[in-house]
Amino acid sequence: MNVLEAHVARSLEKDGTPCAEVQVRTDDPQCEQVLAYFSLSADQDYDLVSIVRDDADLLTDWFDNSMHTAYEDITMQWFENESLKTDWGRRETFKQQVLASGQVREDLRELLG
């Protein structure tokens, strides 16, 4: 999958770590919209913490809806190889595509440092 467009939406804490939520549009027909969460890494770059499928629909998700899961963590699904291990090359490629899209890197620097 390739990143078509991305932009930083907000800052938040994820499992106690300051993160930024990035809305990403991809060319994957199964997951056209995802949320990618980034944190500041020890080397002053950014770590891709997780990816969540953004399947929210205002028509069905304005109340507690059991029809589907609106936000599902798909990090492992997207980057798992045949031996059920993380394909770090694909994960890094996706991360770099997001960081290179528009103002993402600059906005992350502003939000996270």
pLDDT of residue 55: 64
Number of domains in the chain: 1
19 in a structural domain: yes
Average pLDDT, the chain: 84
Task: Give the Cβ contact number of residue 86 at 10 Å.
Answer: 13
pLDDT in tens, 38-71: 999 988 899 999 999 866 554 554 555 555 445 6
pLDDT of residue 67: 52
| Structural domain that includes position 43 | 3-55+77-112
List Cβ neighbours of 8 (8 Å cut-off, separation of 6 or more). 20, 21, 22, 23, 103, 104, 107, 108, 111
